[in-house]
Amino acid sequence: MRNIIEYKKAEFGDFFIGQNTGDGFVLMTDAFDEGKLERLYIIKGAAGTGKSTLMKKIAEEAEKLGHHAVRFACSSDADSLDGVVLDGRIGIADGTAPHTFDMKYPGARSSLVDLSVFRNDEELKKRADEVILHTEEKGKLFREAARYAKSAEIVYKGALKKSEELIDTDKCSKSIDRLIKKLKISEGNGRIIRAATRAVGMKGAVRLDPFGITADTVYSVKGVTFQKDLYMLSLLEKLKRTGADVIYTVDPLFKTVNEVYLPEKRILFSVNDVFSQNEINVRRFTDKEKPTKVRSDTMLASKIISSCADEVKKRLSSAGEHHFALEKIYSASMDFERLGEYTAFLTHKISEELG
């Protein structure tokens, strides 16, 4: 069975800051928690006002000075940044809806970067009707996409439950136990981190590959979609019980596990189409004596899910037309020369804070 959604690989960003789901936008990281950072800069500004460019420049300059930057891409537009964390100490995040960040400790731990001071509101007033139209239409299309995503999720969960009947769970469980023992996975700090490397947005379905560079060993999980997901869920639960540190990523529409990464061992398990010399084919756990009706039911569910997923992508693509129209309108109102001067000032300030 082909994958229900084909995710094209993006080259920009380490993780997505959140995901468009059946429940709307969901934040998928706590990296911008003020309690974990020395300083958080929250950027406010409309589409096209330079938020992403500002963060890119700060990250690039920090890296030139030898600092480490983790980039969080926008789930709706994977070519844009929604956040950066430098050396795990300083965060810069887009605080504009839907990923709103409020200052918990204003001044003490967080600062507001308001890009509206570089904007000519008098020019925008002349185009108020356009701004309102594009904003309302974009919001409506995102809400419609969320409804289709929720429908896909509901059908998917039903098919996943049905697929349990096709799996020899005892055989699968023992196989995972043997693999964990073979890899000598031992107790760590027990940190379980959920992250996002897949997103469905205005430019389609995309995925990032932050573990591909760091992993020494990769296990590619192959087979029927639903059975792969059941295997990954079982693997994750068993790894959690070992006490090992685990990073796992989830699908935005179905909330299933795509990747499980063990940072201490540098081992990656993935259902993505990745190069690997280690393959786990879940078809060998299929109970062939189970009735074919279960298979036909899951095949029908796949068609329904695929149709809903297509509608999600269509709605978000249409929303993109309104979003990028807004970007042009707001971009035309900005004084980018003054913003450039401020960017240089802020970049220098953050560099001094990093030391």
Taking the domains of the chain in order of start, what are their residue ranges?
A: 31-118+335-354, 143-294
Residue 230 to residues 43, 153, 172, 273, 304, Cα–Cα distance (Å): 40, 15, 10, 18, 20
Q: Nearest-CA neighbor of 198 among 33, 24, 17, 2?
A: 17
The pLDDT score that the predictor gives to residue 277 is 82
With 60 as the cut, is the pLDDT of residue 207 above it? yes
- The percent of residues in the chain predicted with pLDDT above 90, rounded, is 82
pLDDT tens per residue across span 74-86: 999 999 999 999 9
The pLDDT score that the predictor gives to residue 294 is 75
SS3 (DSSP) at 20: strand
CB atoms within 10 A of CB 292: 7
Instruction: Give, to the nearest 10 degrees, the angle between helix 336-354 and helix 51-64.
Output: 40
With 50 as the cut, is the pLDDT of residue 156 above it? yes
With 90 as the cut, is the pLDDT of residue 201 above it? yes
The pLDDT score that the predictor gives to residue 146 is 98
The pLDDT score that the predictor gives to residue 296 is 82
Q: Give the pLDDT mean for 169-191.
A: 90
In whole angstroms, what is the distance from residue 301 CA to residue 283 CA?
A: 19
Full-model pTM: 0.92
In whole angstroms, what is the distance from residue 293 CA to residue 122 CA?
A: 65
With 80 as the cut, is the pLDDT of residue 43 above it? yes
Q: Give the pLDDT mean for 193-218.
A: 93
The pLDDT score that the predictor gives to residue 1 is 42
Mean pLDDT over the full length of the chain: 92
pLDDT tens per residue across span 105-136: 999 999 999 999 999 999 999 999 999 999 99
pLDDT tens per residue across span 214-238: 899 999 999 888 999 999 999 999 9
Which tokens belong to 16?
């997505």
In whole angstroms, what is the distance from residue 160 CA to residue 226 CA?
A: 6
In whole angstroms, what is the distance from residue 241 CA to residue 160 CA?
A: 23
Q: Give the pLDDT mean for 170-194.
A: 90
Q: Give the pLDDT mean for 17-29.
A: 96
pLDDT tens per residue across span 261-300: 999 999 999 998 777 889 999 999 987 766 667 778 888 9
